[in-house]
């Protein structure tokens, strides 16, 4: 008898994606982005939580329900023009919309795969960062700078980690990641307990909007901690491709013990097709140590003479939220042009606790996007925030 009152599943909505010319069925409990990705559409995205704007698209027809208010990151002009965030948009049952997807013509397109992986090597790089090598059961293609999500079977929440090596054309059967131990992190707690070589996990990728845009402008890279992974991947790939743009790489660490992959960076510098300047910066190195290099905050070096022409540079930033926020403020104040700043902000379990820090981070980014507190500059950043 009770079966008579069973709820019928709600009719899904449909999103027409232009200029792709694709219709995507959107179940009522999914965002437009989630439905598009599950349908195999290579929809631009990065954070999936409404902060990076990578999924920004224009609603041409119909209505959406905002999971989180779009005005948190979109400007009044963008809202007026009909822009929404696909990761924060749901459809009412049976609704139909037409969405114009903001596709960067340079954006790399690779099929997103979910495959079985097996850990083949786990090597300590510093006291709190390991290199993990994962063999996968089918070749995975990605763009340098992108990431994959990793999830061992017994761990509920998948974690996103950037590929730490340049991709091989045609796909890689073994993938490298740099993983930092994070306080309270379920995945890294498990990983750092003992060697996990031989263990299996599920790997999904690629994802992310952090990749090198073709241009002539000089480059400045800033990385901190395990944020080195995507930068190293981009640098290796660019060096291999013969990219001939002057580049400065500022690498922030606490002490000499926290520096790693220096030989690999110097090897890239040696074969870079233009000027390449590598500046490791230590923030907590004892004053009486033998270190003769740069000291202080890595973002203090985002200026001449270390970065000769900052205003004309294209910037790529990867690392913890305070480093990224500080760098965004410096770049905005220096007048770095709209669209020339790309970042991947590594959020970990400690940043996500109670979500309070996420809101603070987002607010800081909102300030950077709209030029609040940054010498009146108005800049729009293509960016990503990744939950590590
Ligand atoms: S993927 Fe939607 S805002 Fe980042």
pLDDT averaged over every residue in the chain: 87
Instruction: Give percent above pLDDT 90 in the chain.
Output: 68
Interval 350-377 mean pLDDT: 33
Lookup: tokens for 158: 């998948």
d(CA 354, CA 377): 32
Which region among 10-14, 220-224, 277-281, 382-386 has the lowest average model confidence (pLDDT)? Answer: 382-386
Q: How many CB atoms lie within 10 A of CB 173?
A: 12
Domain boundaries, the chain: 2-101, 113-207, 219-387
pLDDT at 369: 37
Q: Cα(280) to centroid of ligand 1, in Å?
A: 31
pLDDT at 382: 34
pLDDT at 370: 34
Shortest-distance atom of ligand 1 to CA 44:
1
d(CA 193, CA 247): 38
d(CA 57, CA 12): 20
Secondary structure of residue 220 in the 3-state scheme = strand
Ligand 1, residues 31, 34, 47, 358: which to mutate, most atoms within 8 A of Cβ?
Answer: 47
Interval 125-137 mean pLDDT: 96
> Would you say 141 and 170 are in contact if contact means Cβ atoms under 8 Å apart?
yes
pLDDT at 5: 61
Which region among 104-108, 232-236, 280-284, 300-304 has the lowest average model confidence (pLDDT)? Answer: 104-108
Q: Cα(248) to centroid of ligand 1, in Å?
A: 29
pLDDT at 376: 25
Relative to beta strand 56-61, strand 83-85 is: antiparallel
pLDDT at 43: 87
Q: Cα(354) to centroid of ligand 1, in Å?
A: 20
Lookup: tokens for 55: 């999924």
Q: Cα(186) to centroid of ligand 1, in Å?
A: 24
Q: Cα(322) to centroid of ligand 1, in Å?
A: 20
Q: Which residue has the tokens 């990431």?
A: 147
ipTM of the complex in this document: 0.99
Our CA dihedral for 162, 168, 174, 177, rounded to 10 degrees, sits at -20
Shortest-distance atom of ligand 1 to CA 48:
1
The CA distances from residue 178 to 21, 22, 165, 292, in Å, are 38, 37, 10, 27
Strands (E), the chain: 13-18, 22-26, 56-61, 65-66, 83-85, 89-90, 96-101, 113-124, 129-140, 147-152, 159-162, 172-180, 200-207, 219-224, 247-253, 276-282, 294-295, 314-319, 341-347, 382-387
Q: Which residue has the tokens 């992190």?
A: 185
CATH fold group of domain 219-387: Rossmann fold (3.40.50)
In this structure, the residue with its CA closest to atom 3 of ligand 1 is 50
Assign domain 113-207 to its CATH architecture.
Beta Barrel (2.40)
d(CA 156, CA 120): 22
Q: Is 2-101 in CATH node 3.10.20.30? A: yes
Whether 219 has a pLDDT exceeding 70, the answer reads yes
Contacts of 365 (CB under 8 A, 6+ apart): 51, 73, 325, 328, 345, 381, 383, 385
> Where residue 353 falls among pLDDT bands split at 50, 70, 90?
very low
Shortest-distance atom of ligand 1 to CA 86:
2
pLDDT at 349: 54
Pocket residues: Cβ below 6 A from ligand 1: 45-48, 50-55, 85, 87
Shortest-distance atom of ligand 1 to CA 55:
2
Q: Does the fold of domain 219-387 match that of domain 2-101?
A: no
> Where residue 233 falls among pLDDT bands split at 50, 70, 90?
very high
């Amino acid at each position: 008898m009770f079966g008579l009152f069973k709820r019928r599943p709600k009719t899904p909505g449909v999103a027409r994606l232009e200029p792709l010319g694709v219709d995507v069925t959107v179940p009522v409990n999914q965002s437009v982005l989630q439905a598009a990705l599950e349908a195999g559409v290579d929809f631009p995205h990065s954070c999936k939580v409404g902060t990076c704007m990578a999924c920004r698209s224009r609603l041409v027809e119909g209505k959406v329900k905002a999971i989180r208010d779009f005005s948190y990151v979109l400007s009044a002009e963008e809202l007026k023009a009909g822009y929404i965030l696909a990761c924060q948009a749901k459809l009412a049952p049976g609704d139909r919309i037409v969405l114009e997807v903001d596709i960067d013509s340079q954006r790399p397109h690779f099929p997103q795969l979910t495959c079985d992986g097996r850990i083949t090597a786990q090597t300590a790089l510093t006291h709190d960062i390991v290199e993990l090598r994962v063999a996968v059961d089918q070749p995975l293609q990605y763009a340098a700078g992108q990431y994959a999500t990793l999830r061992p079977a017994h761990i509920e929440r998948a974690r996103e980690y950037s590929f730490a090596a340049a991709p091989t054309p045609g796909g890689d059967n073994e993938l490298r990641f740099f993983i930092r131990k994070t306080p309270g992190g379920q995945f890294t707690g498990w990983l750092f307990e003992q060697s996990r070589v031989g263990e299996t996990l599920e790997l999904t990728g690629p994802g992310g909007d952090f990749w090198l845009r073709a241009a002539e402008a000089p480059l400045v890279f800033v990385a901190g901690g395990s944020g080195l992974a995507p930068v190293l991947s981009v640098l290796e790939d660019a060096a291999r491709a013969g990219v001939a743009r002057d580049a400065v790489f500022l690498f922030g660490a606490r002490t000499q013990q926290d520096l790693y992959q220096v030989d690999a960076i110097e090897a890239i510098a040696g074969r870079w097709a233009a000027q390449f300047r590598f500046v490791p910066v230590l923030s907590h190195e004892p004053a009486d140590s033998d270190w003769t290099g740069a000291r202080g905050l890595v973002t203090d070096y985002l200026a001449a003479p270390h970065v000769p022409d900052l205003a004309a540079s294209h910037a790529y930033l990867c690392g913890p939220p305070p480093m990224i926020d500080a760098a965004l403020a410096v770049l905005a104040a220096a007048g770095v042009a709209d669209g020339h700043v790309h970042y991947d902000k590594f959020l970990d379990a400690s940043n996500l606790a109670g979500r309070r820090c996420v809101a603070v981070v987002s607010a800081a980014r909102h300030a950077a996007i709209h030029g609040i507190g940054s010498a009146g500059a108005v800049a729009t950043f293509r960016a990503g925030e990744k939950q590590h």
